Amino acid sequence: MSAPAVPTRRDARRNRDLLIRAAQRRFAEQGVDASLEQVARDAGLAIGTLYRHFPCRVDLLAAAFEPKLTGFLDAGEQALTSDDPWEGLCTFLERFGAAQVDDRGFNDFLSMRFPSRDRTEAMHDRLCALLHDLLSRAQETGAVRPDVTHADVISLVWANTRIIEATRDVAPHAWRRHLYLMLDGFRAGPARELPEPPLTDEQLYAAMVRLGG
């Protein structure tokens, strides 16, 4: 009897690519909690093969979303070069909203933190730093009220998540109305003092970790 075939490096790479593509489709449709068994079936592979490549769900999430997140963050870096910092902030947040609509899993992933994974932490650190820089730049020109923090921007993202879920099939662009209503609240000008302080960095991080748990 001949010995069972040993997977080659090319086979392994092919299987990994099949799993990532299947995960991207399934996560986009069902969110980050989509069945990994179904992902494996979609790829035409056994669940054991999936776990050999991606021991934890977070490993698969990182592999599935890293290309999209990298392009998304590059667009944010471009927004930092806008001649009008307010328009740069608005343009990036509108792109953020559009990304939430197009991919349910990516929407989930952007709202979460996974402190046990250096790879995802680095991605989210870059996103938070980018939002901070876009906001600070707009505040330095006097376009945005000084008491707005990047935690307020993340809270806006969370709020849009629920609006998108509720209106996706009946009014798929309703989130844009809410976005610009909230952005008007960020604008500098006469305003009442806010009744609650902003989330601290520690509180924001803990909330994102809770979502990822």
Higher-confidence position of 192 and 114: 114
Q: Are 80 and 137 in contact (CB under 8 A)?
A: yes
- Sorted by where each begins, the domain ranges of the chain are 7-55, 61-212
Please give the C-alpha separations between residue 89 and each of 85, 98, 174, in angstroms, as whole numbers.
6, 14, 20
Superfamily grouping for domain 61-212: Tetracycline Repressor, domain 2 (1.10.357.10)
- Reply yes or no on whether the pLDDT at 118 is more than 60: yes
To the nearest whole percent, how much of the chain has pLDDT over 90?
46
For residue 42, give every residue at least 6 positions away whose Cβ sits within 8 Å of its Cβ, in sequence order, or none. 22, 25, 26
pTM above 0.85, yes or no: no
- Reply yes or no on whether the pLDDT at 190 is more than 80: no
Q: Which of 130, 143, 150 is nearest to 83 (CA)?
A: 143
Please give the C-alpha separations between residue 184 and each of 9, 18, 84, 146, 160, in angstroms, as whole numbers.
54, 44, 16, 14, 15
The model's confidence at residue 2, banded by pLDDT at 50, 70 and 90, is very low
Superfamily grouping for domain 7-55: Homeodomain-like (1.10.10.60)
pLDDT tens, residue by residue, 31-67: 999 999 999 999 999 999 999 999 999 999 999 999 8
- Reply yes or no on whether the pLDDT at 176 is more than 50: yes
